Amino acid sequence: MIPVLSVIAVIIVLVVAHELGHFLAAKATGMRVEEFAVGFGTKKLTLLTRGGTEYNLRPIPAGGFVRIAGMDPGEESPPDGFNAQSVWKRMLVIFAGPLASFVFAYVLFCSLGMTVGLPLGGPKAEVSNVIAGTPAAEMGLKAGDQIVSIAGKPIRTGEEMMKAIEANPGKRVPVVVNRENNSVTLYGTPRPTEIPDPKGGGKTLTVGKLGFNPSPSLKRVGFVESIEKGTILSYNMVKQLLSVVFSKRIAKEAGGPIAIINATHQAAESGIAHLVILTAGLSLNFAVLNLLPIPVLDGGHILLLLVEVARGRKLSARAQNAALTFGLAVLAVIIVLVLAKDITSLLPMAR
């Protein structure tokens, strides 16, 4: 798949899955949905109009939205509008978006075993994706490269590949790869990295890291095992994501739009299986991050509704707008910081 098209396709799939949750919940609770749009921008292409809802495509494929009647703060809501409904109905509609993103990811993970295969077993001696700003990126490794030898040592398995890299911290070594049936020799210096000593005792070992993820060994399994493994995979990914979000690691490990585009590009180059796995992972990320209690995000809207429950009456339009403005400011700062990290990570590649 052409890289740019793969990025657009993944964005559209993630947006449609998320917004479909809001849409279905709004319809189920009797609210009037005026528009279901994929993309942003003032111009629109109306595909059809049904049940009082316009289904539109807009020119900027970087998101999408569901426009429900009477949803803006202070807007006079018709009887079938958002603000005219009970707080619990409104909360259900807001929560349905992240829930749909999670369900979509879970269904993808549970179906992987029966289709393209699940990442079970050890890694292959093959590059899945290269992390920007690392020795692997600087030496020119690419997704799909099959590692043939490292420092003159033949490589047959993913385990042998990892051991050979770890055994050469700070040493410039030749890496022979098979790229599109051509033998290519690259030179890189594994970055010295401290890891806990497997023998324990509180000691550490210094090993080499190039900065790429190996391709997983994909294995097809039966229906029951596919659901079982998909459930475990979903649980572990959510657990890992939460551990990063609520720790000091978030500043180091968070990635922004550039990182997502880069990962999607490389996953597309590695094959449909990797692209599906990445899409499922991004959908889970989308679900969890959207529930953060920041006004503008779904979690922030839920927080404001909980405040309304606690007060016993609705927040004024002024208070809602103030909260949304604050949320936008916080989100803008986060976006700038993450984008700065993305751009900084790309700078070493330009040297």
Q: Is residue 346 part of a domain?
A: no
Asked if residue 347 has pLDDT above 80, the reply is: no
Looking at the fold, whether 7 and 68 belong to one and the same domain comes out as yes
Asked if residue 281 has pLDDT above 70, the reply is: yes
Q: Which domain holds residue 63?
A: 3-113+282-292
**C-alpha angle 217/17/117, rounded to 5°?**
15
Q: Is residue 92 part of a domain?
A: yes
Q: Is residue 238 part of a domain?
A: no
Lowest mean pLDDT among 64-73, 182-191, 275-284: 275-284
Query: pTM for the complete prediction?
Result: 0.74
Looking at the fold, whether 155 and 199 belong to one and the same domain comes out as yes
Give 259 or 277, the one with higher predicted confidence: 277
Looking at the fold, whether 16 and 50 belong to one and the same domain comes out as yes
Looking at the fold, whether 202 and 288 belong to one and the same domain comes out as no
Lowest mean pLDDT among 71-85, 217-231, 331-345: 331-345
Give rounded-to-5 percent helix, strand, coil for the chain: 50, 25, 25
- The length of the chain is 351
Looking at the fold, whether 64 and 129 belong to one and the same domain comes out as no
Looking at the fold, whether 99 and 31 belong to one and the same domain comes out as yes
Asked if residue 349 has pLDDT above 50, the reply is: no
Looking at the fold, whether 146 and 212 belong to one and the same domain comes out as yes
Looking at the fold, whether 84 and 137 belong to one and the same domain comes out as no
Number of folded domains in the chain? 2
Out of 19, 35, 126, 138, pick the active-site residue: 19
- Which pLDDT belongs to residue 49? 93
Q: Is residue 325 part of a domain?
A: no
Looking at the fold, whether 147 and 196 belong to one and the same domain comes out as yes
Q: Is residue 239 part of a domain?
A: no
Single residue among 193, 218, 243 that ends a domain in this structure = 218
Looking at the fold, whether 131 and 214 belong to one and the same domain comes out as yes
- Which pLDDT belongs to residue 205? 86
Lowest mean pLDDT among 22-26, 29-33, 210-214, 336-340: 336-340
Over residues 181-201, mean pLDDT: 86
pLDDT 10s digits, 90-145: 999 999 999 999 999 999 989 988 988 877 777 889 988 788 788 999 999 998 89
Q: Verify whether residue 19 is a known catalytic residue.
A: yes
- Which pLDDT belongs to residue 285? 86
Q: Is residue 190 part of a domain?
A: yes
Single residue among 218, 239, 258 that ends a domain in this structure = 218
What's the whole-number average pLDDT of the chain? 84
Single residue among 164, 195, 218 that ends a domain in this structure = 218
Q: Is residue 188 part of a domain?
A: yes
pLDDT 10s digits, 69-101: 998 887 778 999 999 999 999 999 999 999 999
- Which pLDDT belongs to residue 191? 92
pLDDT 10s digits, 240-272: 777 766 655 555 555 555 566 666 666 666 667
Q: Is residue 173 part of a domain?
A: yes
pLDDT-derived band of residue 62, with 50, 70 and 90 as boundaries? confident
- Which pLDDT belongs to residue 315? 85
- 101-105 contacts at long range (C-beta below 8 A, 24 or more positions apart): 101/14, 101/17, 101/18, 101/21, 101/283, 101/284, 101/286, 101/287, 101/290, 102/283, 102/284, 102/287, 103/21, 104/17, 104/18, 104/280, 104/283, 105/234, 105/280, 105/281, 105/283, 105/284, 105/287
User: Any idea what the CATH number is for the domain that residue 161 is in?
Assistant: 2.30.42.10
